[in-house]
């Protein structure tokens, strides 16, 4: 067998894993779903989910990858037995990855468009409503949407085809730190805007009246999406980790950083929303219709805009790569295809499927798959509300009951922490996931 490639250092792995976790989920999705669900209480539930469900499952996925040193399907066979039924979890993960990347790439395309708009100084001197109309224009053009989606897919393809170890590691190590510096800068800037304190109270004070069962489902689902959990992305990345590496601290650090980015993006975006009297519950267009309003008004805003959309594009790419890598690593290892062929075929299929999402804001905007949900919404909700939590449920049970107490004690020396991890993966996380899925059905 070929020797499996490994990350070059622990720090490097941490940056790559943060690259997978931190993406459009944090910057684009978290603020808008928090806005739609009334803020405070939604944020609290999301934070609880990250701690009670997200972190234990993150550790479980890392462990399964690291100990098995194989792709997400074979991993279960290595740790359990040949032809293990648990391998179905891996298959479910492949389907989820496929669906997620197909619409993720469409949103990635919007980012490319906004980066180009920034580079051509298109926001300068525009009024608030002119800036907001730019999004409407983009949404209504099928060709633009498809073209941008193709471009994003192509960039993702370009990185993954070269093998992630060298390319993605090198870029992550430079650009993730830049991203954090810029985010901190924007956060400090937002503290000087008049809407800042209202943004804080929107996000951190509890008004129970707007939260619905659907909102709870959204919070649970998003805790999976944002940590890249429930479909084997972390199993795959964990499998490139040397078997000796300590997992616990790594998982906590990654979960912490991911949460910080989501909350910071929320604070930045809502400070602008409240400073300029925009609508906090405007949905998926929120980020695109708020930040440019600020960039258009502040001196030097054009340059901040370029840096911002550039780094968001990078954050989106480092996440997209992890989704694609899951599929590529499986098909090239198990079918013995070469990497070039696998990557090309998968990307072509992804492009084709993504067209349905690209057309969901124009030609197909009134074509509902179920209950008022366009293709875009369906792929998004099917994966983050159901497929990821369900995948997470199985991974959690596998880790808690199959891998079991002895192995967990071996990995985590502190008895108390080992106990918490054992029982959260055996009982607490699975029950919480089940409860919310059942709750959402009735």
Binding site for ligand TRP (CB under 6 A): 20-21, 23-26, 100, 225-226, 228, 231, 233, 319, 322-323, 388
Please give the Cα distance from 285 to 272 (Å, whole number): 14
CB of 72 to ligand TRP, least distance (A): 11
Q: How many angstroms separate the CA atoms of 308 and 317, rounded?
A: 14
Q: Measured from the CB of residue 226, what is the shortest distance to ligand TRP in angstroms? A: 4
Q: b or e along 235-270 (b: 16 or more beta carbons within 10 Å of the residue's beta carbon)? A: bbbbbbbeeebebbebbeebbebbbbbbbbbbbbbb
Q: How far is the CB of 184 from ligand TRP (least distance, A)?
A: 19
Q: Is the dihedral of CA 293, 297, 303, 304 positive or negative?
A: negative
Q: Give the residue with the Cβ less far from ligand TRP, 323 or 411.
A: 323
- Would you tell me how many other CB atoms lie within 10 Å of the CB of residue 299? 6
The 10 Å CB-count burial string (b at 16+, else e) for 135-152 is beebbeeeebbbebbbbb
Longest dimension (CA), the chain: 64
Beta bridge partners of 373: 370
- Which helix or strand (DSSP H or E) is residue 264 part of? helix 248-275
Considering beta carbons, is residue 231 or 397 the nearer one to ligand TRP?
Answer: 231
Dihedral of CA 356/358/361/364: which sign? negative
Q: Which is nearer to ligand TRP, 186 or 315 (CB)?
A: 315
CB nearer to ligand TRP: give 112 or 411. 112
Give the integer Cα–Cα distance in Å for 378 and 356: 11
Between 22 and 411, CB nearer to ligand TRP: 22
Q: Could you tell me the smallest distance in angstroms from the CB atom of residue 409 to ligand TRP?
A: 29
Please, are residues 94 and 106 in contact by the beta-carbon 8 Å criterion?
A: no
Comparison of 293 and 390: residue with beta carbon closer to ligand TRP: 390
N-to-C CA span, the chain: 50
Q: How far is the CB of 323 from ligand TRP (least distance, A)?
A: 5
CB of 209 to ligand TRP, least distance (A): 28
Provide the minimum distance between the beta carbon of 104 and ligand TRP in the complex, in angstroms, as a whole number: 7
Kindly tell me which of 18 and 304 has the beta carbon lying closer to ligand TRP. 18
Residue showing the smallest CB distance to ligand TRP in the complex = 25
């Amino acid at each position: 067998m070929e020797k499996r490639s490994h990350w070059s250092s622990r720090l490097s792995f941490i940056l790559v894993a943060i690259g997978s976790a931190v993406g459009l989920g944090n910057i684009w999705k978290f603020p808008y779903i928090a806005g739609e669900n009334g803020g405070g209480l939604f944020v609290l539930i999301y934070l609880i989910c990250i701690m009670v469900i997200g972190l234990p499952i993150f550790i479980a996925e890392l462990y399964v990858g690291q100990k098995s040193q194989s792709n997400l399907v074979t991993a279960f066979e290595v740790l359990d037995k040949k032809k293990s039924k648990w391998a179905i979890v891996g298959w479910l993960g492949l389907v989820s990855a496929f669906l997620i990347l197909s619409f993720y790439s469409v949103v990635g395309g919007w980012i490319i468009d906004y980066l180009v708009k920034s580079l051509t100084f298109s926001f300068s001197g525009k009024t608030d409503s002119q800036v907001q109309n730019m999004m409407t224009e983009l949404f209504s053009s099928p060709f633009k949407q498809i073209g941008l989606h193709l471009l994003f897919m192509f960039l993702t393809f370009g990185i993954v085809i070269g093998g992630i170890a060298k390319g993605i590691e090198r870029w992550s190590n430079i650009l993730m730190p830049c991203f954090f510096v810029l985010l901190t800068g924007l956060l400090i800037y937002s503290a000087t805007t008049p809407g800042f304190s209202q943004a804080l109270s929107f996000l951190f004070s509890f008004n129970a009246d707007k939260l619905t069962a659907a909102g709870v489902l959204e919070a649970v689902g998003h805790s999976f999406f944002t940590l890249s959990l429930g479909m084997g992305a972390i199993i795959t990345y964990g499998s490139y980790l040397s078997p000796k590496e300590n997992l616990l601290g790594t998982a906590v650090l990654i979960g912490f950083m991911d949460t910080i980015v989501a909350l910071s993006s929320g604070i930045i975006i809502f400070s602008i929303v409240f400073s300029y009297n925009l609508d906090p519950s405007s949905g998926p267009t929120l980020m695109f219709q708020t930040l440019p309003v600020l960039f258009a008004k502040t001196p030097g805003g054009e340059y901040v805009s370029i840096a911002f959309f550039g780094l968001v594009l990078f954050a989106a790419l480092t996440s997209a790569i992890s989704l694609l890598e899951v599929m590529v690593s499986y098909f090239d290892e198990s079918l013995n295809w070469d990497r070039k062929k696998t990557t090309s075929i998968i990307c072509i299929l992804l492009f084709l499927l993504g067209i349905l999402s690209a057309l969901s804001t124009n030609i197909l905007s009134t074509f509902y798959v179920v209950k008022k949900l366009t293709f875009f919404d369906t792929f998004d909700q099917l994966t983050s509300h159901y497929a990821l939590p369900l995948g997470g449920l199985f991974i959690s049970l596998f880790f808690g009951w199959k891998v079991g107490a002895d192995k967990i004690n071996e990995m985590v020396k502190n008895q108390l922490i080992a106990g918490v991890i054992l029982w959260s993966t055996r009982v607490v996380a699975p029950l919480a996931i089940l409860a919310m899925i059942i709750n959402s059905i009735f």
